[in-house]
Amino acid sequence: MKYLGMDVSKENLDNCLLRDAVDTKRKTRKFANSPSGLADFLSFVEKEGIRPDELHVIMEGTGVYHQLAAETLCDAGITVSIVNPAHVKNFARAMAVRTKNDTKDSFVLARYGALLKPAPWIPPPPAARELQAYITREDAIKKDIIRERNRKEKSVIGHALDDVLTSIDETIEFLNAQLIAITKKITSHINKHPDLKEDMKLLISIPGVGPETGHHMLAVMHTHQFRSAEQLAAYLGLVPVERQSGTSLHAQPRLSKAGPKTMRAALYMPAVSALQWNPHIRALKERLAAKGKTPMAIVGAAMRKLVHLCFGVLKTRKKYSPEHVQLA
């Protein structure tokens, strides 16, 4: 297997090709992050005498900029791994790499892949990608509504012109209409795909998980491959991180917050509700409170347990049952 690190940016793909895990000699090339640039990349691979099935490309998750490259390379039969940027950063420190530029970053990615051999990325099905796009847009509209409401509040306090207030009201009205429309599209999209529809029924069977939370969890769990509930919770940044050493350092554990913050925001209020209405999570609250845990620590634990329950109902293909969970 040959390993290639691909440092992705909005405009370019910086590449570093290694022949094997111990070969420090490398070949670097830069291509445009575009369909034509990726075609040039595939031609480069062919000229190097490397078959698609013997090339492993490692790249970091960079918002939306890596998606075109990852999907194109997978379609070409190349193994692609999308790795956590924080892990790569720590790996570079372990290699004593202090210089940071695109060429050096691609070399670090190639060495990361050669030594650690990360799991291949499996492209999510089109229906899952479309659902994620709808939900991303829904979240953006909600943020815009909050911004406009804040602007209105400040404008009222500042005695703004009536025309300014009218403009803000019209914008809020338009955004609310857009929010209703995109929410209908999400529901329609889920109902059109039996697998999404069935998984949605399982998710909302959990007390505390409503349609909005179900949509978010559905998108995450259908666009990523998780082997366990713990892995899902870790991806969402809901695992506790301890800071203790000897007798001098005894910091309170805190959530890692390493994953998408929009998901943690979407889970917060459902977890608060589940503390009251979900028998399993209510029992968890009582156990943690008896141990002297703080209210926020309990909410964090409830968010994590809610995610575990979501994973559980999809894995077992059974709706939530308090009796079943109590026995598990």
- Summarised one tens digit per residue, pLDDT across range 32-76 is 999 999 999 999 999 999 999 999 999 998 778 899 999 999 999
Rounded to whole angstroms, the Cα distance separating 79 from 122 reads 9
Buried b (16+ CB within 10 A) or exposed e, 225-237: ebeebeebbbbbb
Mean of pLDDT values over 82-89:
88
Residue 164, pLDDT score: 95
- Summarised one tens digit per residue, pLDDT across range 284-323 is 999 999 999 999 999 999 999 999 999 999 999 999 988 7
Question: Which has the closest alpha carbon to 252: 264, 240, 261?
Answer: 240
Q: Look up the pTM and report it.
A: 0.84
Task: Looking at the structure, give the CATH architecture of the domain made up of residues 2-116.
Answer: 2-Layer Sandwich (3.30)
Question: Which has the closest alpha carbon to 85: 111, 109, 102, 103?
Answer: 109
Question: For the chain, what are the domain ranges?
Answer: 2-116, 126-192, 214-243+253-327
Tokens of 44: 């480069």
CA angle 299, 254, 307 (to 5 degrees): 45
- Which residue type does 219 have? A
Pairing of strands 26-32, 2-8: unpaired
Going by C-beta distance under 8 Å and a sequence separation of 6 or more, which residues neighbour residue 7? 13, 14, 15, 59, 60, 102, 103, 105, 106, 109
Whether 328 has a pLDDT exceeding 50, the answer reads no
Rounded to whole angstroms, the Cα distance separating 160 from 200 reads 45
**What is residue 80's DSSP assignment?**
E
